[in-house]
Amino acid sequence: MKKIDEYQGKKVLVMGFGISGINAAHLLVKLGANVTANDKATPKNNDIVDDLEADGIKVITGDNPISLANEGFDVVVKNPGIPYDNPLVAAFVKQGTPIITEAELGWQIFDGHLVSVTGSNGKTTTTTLTQLMIAENAKHQVKYAGNIGISFSKIAEDLGPDDTLVTELSSFQLLGAPTIHPHIAIITNIFSNHLDYHKTRENYINAKLNITRNQTKDDFLVINWDRDEWQKIAQRSQATIVPFSRLNKSHEGAYVEDGMIYWRGQEVMPTKDIRLIGPQNVENALAAIAAAKLSGVTNDAIKKVLTTFSGVRHRLQYVMEYQQRLFYNDSKSTDIEATEVALQGFDRPVILLAGGLDRGYTFERLVPYFKKHVKAMIVFGECKDKMKDAGNQAGVPVIESENAITAVPEAWKLSEPGDVILLSPANASWDQFPSFEVRGDKFIEAVEELTGKKEQ
């Protein structure tokens, strides 16, 4: 951990009691700040408040009182999910109070080698693969943190100058990380996500590009080269560009040719040996390979990881095989693009479980994928009628169910040996579940109850 004094004696407000907010509050006390912690909700677990207060932190819950804007805070550390049009946040913006996220705080105290990953899809898998690959050859600690569910600042406290940290960073986190400077930055892809938060696609892209804002030619930006738009976005970085591509050969980076992965013209391994399924995971592997090779990792270490790693939980996660049916949990597919790439990963009939929060869009884009890959659909949630319409357009049998749990036995009744039963909702979970993780866990529990087996 790097010793810094910029918070000594400063008055800091931490907004949000998520894992990152709680860790940030305690860290700021260690850094000499006078800390107030605020959450709009009242925590069900009183231990959270007790622990904060025991560390000398003033705690305010149940509201974001606008009066806090008049208390002279020097800095606000905001939960990334709190929008900037929140009245209290907007008041701080108007008066010019610096607003950062916990990722910025983590960077400020980090004293090692930073690799950072962002993108619309594939962030967590790419982050995990990169960390595993670098760790295979490392003599020092190699950890991961960030949007992957582990506090950046908490891990950074325990790492030294020779250690490596691989961080997954969302657009929300990057908006509040003005000085972050990874030596290797990865952009997996950029679609049109979170426009309810960012308002425009250009705002979303600009937030993503904060990952490379402070990079120089001595740093590296690893970026997907499969779309012209992404190639143009790369031109806005000052870093040395390292492309990865599943579709276009580029001797400057990692690419696929005739079923073989290459790094700068040298063979690494066949794509068929990657344990993770689907073209999206070939792309994730290419991004991780580029970062790993830039970090000095051997081909043997890369092969070991890619031939054994079976997936991140809720991200096209293989659950089990039962009576010649394969179950996959892709609850993290909360948008249309993610479900598109999930369906492309299977060369056998799919019974698709889909639906969730109605965000106002329809699913005509999925019709070609339904026609090609899906033999039947079980739909649920607020948008089940829209999802059903798309299934009908594709000529796919559609059954309605209450949720992702009740859909499991319905899918089993429709299945035959050789089928895939896939939860890939194409929608957020918040109409029925507090998070995609809970939705995926409940799906797995339903599969275990059906089969009498534990996930593999």
Provide the annotated binding site for ATP.
119-125
Strand residue runs (E) in 173-258: 184-187, 220-224, 240-245, 254-257
Half-sphere exposure of 304 (CA within 13 A, CB side): 12
Enter the tokens of residue 243: 């492309």
- Structure-block tokens of residue 58: 């003033």
Tokens 């534990």, residue?
A: 454
Take residue 115 and report the two structure tokens written for it.
């690799």
Other C-beta atoms within 10 Å of 392: how many? Answer: 14
| Two structure tokens written together for 245 | 């591509």
Sheet holding 254-257, edge to edge: 142-146, 164-168, 113-118, 184-187, 220-224, 240-245, 254-257, 260-263, 266-270
Residues in binding site: 119-125
